[in-house]
Structure 1
Amino acid sequence: MVPPLALDIDGTLTTPEGTIAPRAFPLLAAWEAPVVLATGKAFPYPVALCQFVGIPERAIAENGGVALVDGHLDYAGDPERVDAAVEAFEERGGDLGWDGVDTVNRWRETEVAVSPTADEELLRDIAAEFDLAVVDSGYAYHLKSPDASKGAALTDVAETLGHDPGEFVAVGDSENDASTFAVAGESYAVANADETAKRAADRVLDRGYVDGTLDALRAIRDRAKNGE
């Protein structure tokens, strides 16, 4: 039997151009164990992806701030404190950095994503004042509660699914995946992963992005078929 999966999206199920890779869909749809999508994106994104892939809606969003599994929806963190910190950041000249309509944060409920072009030093100073954390996903700086993480959410999701988190295989590419790697029984960083993810993973894959992820999943599937 194949193990349950915890998969990041950006940089892990996407191409180098940042587009989702449909070639991963058949493998995920046929996976004979739970598949949980764990992302830094706002909640609607992984839910929609589950629908398009054709798998049950099992999603961890906003770096653990929101988790949905089999009809159970849970939240973590302190969004009011995050909003207060953002207000202070902007009052001191900070800019979230998203031009036009801010679709990055429009549906975000527990954290705020700040553009990589923003004033990181000011953001981290503000975060410290408000007892918040800043996580660099490679696509944004995420201002969030320190007790919310993908790993903590996966622990709760696994329990709801009747699994131990140590049964999961995790694949990811960035700092925000390190907490998932810490609780999963087996973890892979794709070749394009940042140094934090590579250090935290059990193995760094030879290829990057979705190609590396598919290499890992096919090897896991073949290993299960061979009874290893």
Structure 2
Amino acid sequence: MASDPPLVLDIDGTLTRPEGFGIDPRIFDPLLEWDAPVVLATGKAFPYPIALCHFLAIPEIAVAENGGVVYTGEEVTVTADRAAAQAVLEEYREAGYAAGWGGDDTINRWRATEVAINRDQPRDPLEAIAADYGLEVIDTGYAYHVKDPTVTKGQGLLALGEAAGIEVAEAVAVGDSINDVSTFEVVSRSFAVANADADAREAADEVLEETHADGTLAVVERVRASGE
């Protein structure tokens, strides 16, 4: 039986370098050595956490697109339809705005359930259009995500746990944003890194002194050392 609890980790702001750009390579060995499931739960499109798992050399287990896509390592479950979010983006463009990621838009190319808009674009008209389609806009600090309000990371994590036999109620989670609040609500212990937004800080069991990957590494070391 694994001595470590399951670990649920956001990516942006949580596994990134102290300056916030790029994955911090110091996370590789601790996550590889973790002897319980490591779940990457992110707002990024599905291919991103899978690729990161691949390069970390850990099992490919993920909750992507804020709960819109769940992967157990054997089966992909899509919990929302991108059609409405895409319609919001098209109407937003017709109003004279843009997704803001350049011509190729690799941020949205592989999304199955939502769209992400650069935060340098106006939020108010985006929210107004999204509301007409019954969707919400959340600001993760990295993008505005246009998504189904009934879909969350926490729900995706619970579905993953049931399908993959992971004890979510025993898990430890680390995050930094409003989209991690639902994750914090379903795990045993939750930590917000010091760079976290107000929603994540309020929802977490503990706010760390360290930012970004420094905070995540501190949690990993503490939990392993204490056997909690």
Q: Normalising to structure 1: TM-score of the pair?
A: 0.96
Q: 2:45 aligns with which of 42, 46, 62?
A: 42
| Structure 2, unaligned runs of 5 or more | none
C-alpha deviation, 1:81, in angstroms? 1.1
Deviates more, 1:155-164 or 1:210-219: 155-164
Q: What is residue 200 of structure 1 aligned with on the other side? A: 203
2:6, 2:167 within 8 Å by CA — same for their partners in 1? no
C-alpha deviation, 1:161, in angstroms? 2.5
1:1-228 equivalences under 5 Å are 1-15=3-17, 16-224=19-227, 228=228
Deviations 1:148-202 (A, max 9, x none): 1110100011112223321111100011111111111110000000001000100
1:76, 1:148 within 8 Å by CA — same for their partners in 2? yes
C-alpha deviation, 1:79, in angstroms? 1.0
Give the Cα–Cα distance (whole angstroms) in 2 for the partners of residues 47 and 70 of structure 1: 9
Give the Cα–Cα distance (whole angstroms) in 1 for the partners of residues 185 and 96 of structure 2: 37
Structure 1 stretches of 4+ with a deviation exceeding 6 A read: none
Which one-letter code corresponds to 1:179 in the other structure?
S
1:170, 1:181 within 8 Å by CA — same for their partners in 2? yes
Aligned residues: CA RMSD: 1.1
C-alpha deviation, 1:210, in angstroms? 0.1
Counterpart secondary structure, 1:121: helix
C-alpha deviation, 1:103, in angstroms? 1.0
Which one-letter code corresponds to 2:171 in the other structure?
F
Give the Cα–Cα distance (whole angstroms) in 2 for the partners of residues 61 and 70 of structure 1: 13
Which one-letter code corresponds to 1:170 in the other structure?
A
Give the Cα–Cα distance (whole angstroms) in 1 for the partners of residues 86 and 119 of structure 2: 19
C-alpha deviation, 1:111, in angstroms? 0.6
C-alpha deviation, 1:80, in angstroms? 1.0
Q: Normalising to structure 2: TM-score of the pair?
A: 0.96
How many residues matched?
225
